[in-house]
Amino acid sequence: MEEEVTFVIFSMDSPDQTAECAKALKSRNIAIFYTSSDKDLESLKRLLPDVQVIPAPGFGYPEPLRPWAESFVNTPYVFIIDTDERLSEGLASFIRTSRLENDVYKIFRVESASSSGTWQTRLYKKGSIEWKGLVHEQPASKSKKLPKDCIILHNDKSLKHPRTYNKLNSFMPQSTAEVIARSFAVGLILAGPKAVFYLPQTIRDVSRQKHLSTKEDKEIRKEIRKIGLVKYLGLDDPGVVSSIISKYGTVTHGTELLVKLMRERHSRQQHN
């Protein structure tokens, strides 16, 4: 039922697009986690005066913030939606009228330019998933697939092959040289020479950053692979995220901020 679900939107520097997405949901339960300048933030609040807008740190991609976002949700279920996505009529009707009984639901997301798509975990009971903080993370939790008329419509104008994100998860964190070489290789393998000009923005962002490559950094990578980025940085603790916002603000830092936080934590460990 609609009153059981809070729609969670992560957005950055796009007040108009974010407002359009929120209004299209036609729901009273929406929480927007927004990264931008103060001017942009105030603009979004004016566009959506009745919607909860929470300033969020700019990590370059939103997945590490999912556990923190859940602390703002007061309904039993969470629905994650991007600003360039819309609910099909069937999915909107399902959320309005159906009693949710499963912990995790998978929903088919269709690309607007074709009939192709992927099954994704977007609707789940609060606290039922332990997020690791991977890019486009799809947890292995037992789930129920919704019917094909209950779909997410994705208006994507760039090439974003799902396997690309699986590869990216193994890049993060990596050295700059590895990221550049592997990013271009993935593009060539998956979609041919033209793909390198349309690689996902996250890969382009990562390739511009200096990532973990020293002996100490390899120790960090080993621990992150074991417990996940969220646990490693304590991002499931609202107090930790609040301290990051206090220190670094809510402007866009990209994955460079994540690397900085990783190194700071490792340094503290070494001195304790």
Q: Give all strands (DSSP E) within 13-103, no chain letters.
A: 30-35, 52-55, 77-80, 85-87
Half-sphere exposure of 57 (CA within 13 A, CB side): 23
- 171, 178 Cβ separation under 8 angstroms: yes
Alpha carbon 200 to its chain centroid, in Å, reads 13
Give the pairing of strands 117-125 and 104-111. antiparallel
Q: Please give the pLDDT value at position 1.
A: 76
Instruction: Give a yes or no: residue 257 inside a domain.
Output: yes
Q: Please give the pLDDT value at position 156.
A: 59
Q: What is the mean pLDDT of residues 92-121?
A: 88
Phi and psi (nearest 5°) for 72? -95, -5
Residue 108 above 60 pLDDT? yes
Higher pLDDT, residue 247 or 38:
247
State the Cα angle at 10 between 9 and 12, rounded to 5°: 130
Instruction: Give a yes or no: residue 71 inside a domain.
Output: no
Cα-based distances in Å from 60 to 31, 92, 204, 260:
19, 29, 11, 13
Least confident of 108-117, 147-156, 207-216: 207-216
Least confident of 21-30, 37-46, 105-114, 155-164: 155-164
Instruction: Give a yes or no: residue 81 inside a domain.
Output: no
CB neighbours of residue 257 within 10 Å: 18
Mean of the per-residue pLDDT values of the chain: 82
Instruction: Give a yes or no: residue 196 inside a domain.
Output: yes
Percent over 90 (pLDDT), the chain: 53
Q: What is the mean pLDDT of residues 2-22?
A: 95
Could you report the per-residue pLDDT of 160-219, keeping only the tens digit for each? 444 545 554 554 544 444 444 545 554 444 444 544 454 445 445 544 545 556 777 778
- Angle, helices 38-47 vs 15-25, to 10°: value is 30
Q: Please give the pLDDT value at position 70.
A: 96
Instruction: Give a yes or no: residue 253 inside a domain.
Output: yes
Q: Please give the pLDDT value at position 217.
A: 76
Instruction: Give a yes or no: residue 256 inside a domain.
Output: yes
DSSP-H helix ranges across 83-160: 89-97
Higher pLDDT, residue 97 or 157:
97
Tally the domains of the chain: 1
Least confident of 73-77, 100-104, 259-263: 259-263
Instruction: Give a yes or no: residue 11 inside a domain.
Output: no
Q: Please give the pLDDT value at position 174.
A: 46
Instruction: Give a yes or no: residue 237 inside a domain.
Output: yes
Residues near 93 by beta carbon (within 8 Å), at least 6 away in sequence: none
Cα-based distances in Å from 37 to 4, 58, 153:
32, 11, 29
Domain span at residue 167 reads 162-271
